[in-house]
Amino acid sequence: MLSQIVRPMVRTQIRLLASCQATRTTLISTVAQWLGFLGVEAQVTQLDASGGRISISLTVDKPEACDTHDWNQILHNLEQGKSVRLSTLQNQLPITPQQQTKLQRLLAYLIQVGDPSTPANWDELYPQLQMLGLDESMLLGIRSALKVPQSLDRLLEGLDPDVAAIALPKAVSIALLDRHVNSSEDHALTALLKAMKQTAQVGN
C-alpha cells in the first residue's frame, strides 16, 4: 500500500519542483525526504545538472513518475545556477492561515491515531518532528491540535488538493516514525492520496 501512496506523491512533488523558484535547494531537501521514506538518512553534499541527468553524490535518472516536460524544466532551472535560501515545497505554495491550521490538525491526527491508547509525549515528538523539516510555527500548531481529538472526516471537508499534496509526505513520515502503519494511519494516508490526485488530474 505504501508504494501506491509514495509513487503519486513523488509525481506531485516533481510537478511542484519543476515550477518552483528554488529548484536547487528544494531538490536537496526533497531527495533527502524521499530517501527518508526508505529509512535512509541522507545528506546531499554535491549537486550538478548535466547531460540530462542530476548528480547528487550519485547519478539520478528521470524518475518513472515524472514526465519528460517536467524533467527537462527541472534541469533547465538547475542549469541557470540560481542559488537562493533553502526552502521547502510547503513554502513554494501560498497557504492561507486557515489552510495551515488544517495542515497542523491533519498531522496531529496522524500522531493521535499512531498510538491511540497513549497520549502523545511532546518531549519525545518534538525532535522527531523537527527532523521532518517542520518549522517552529507549524510545530506549535501541531502541539496545540494534539490537545483535542481530531476528526479525519471533518478535516477532509473542503481540503484543497495542494494542501493534501503538502500534507501527504509529512503524514507518511509521521506514520513511519514507529516503522509501522496501522489501519487508521493507512486510511488517513489513502484519503490524503485521493485528495491530492485531484491536482494531478487538473495538471494533465
What is the per-residue pLDDT across 79-137, written as a single tens digit (0 to 9) for each?
765 444 434 444 445 678 888 899 999 999 999 999 888 888 999 999 888 888 788 89
Is the Cβ–Cβ distance between 110 and 171 less than 8 Å? yes
Looking at the predicted structure, is the pLDDT value of residue 158 above 60? yes
Half-sphere exposure of 138 (CA within 13 A, CB side): 21
pLDDT value at residue 86: 38
All three cell numbers of 189, joined, read 494516508
* Residue with the larger pLDDT of the pair 16 and 39: 16
pLDDT tens digits along 60-92: 556 555 678 887 887 777 776 544 443 444 444
Phi, psi of 43 (to 5 degrees): -130, 120
Average pLDDT, the chain: 76
What percentage of the chain exceeds 70 in pLDDT?
69
DSSP state of 51: T
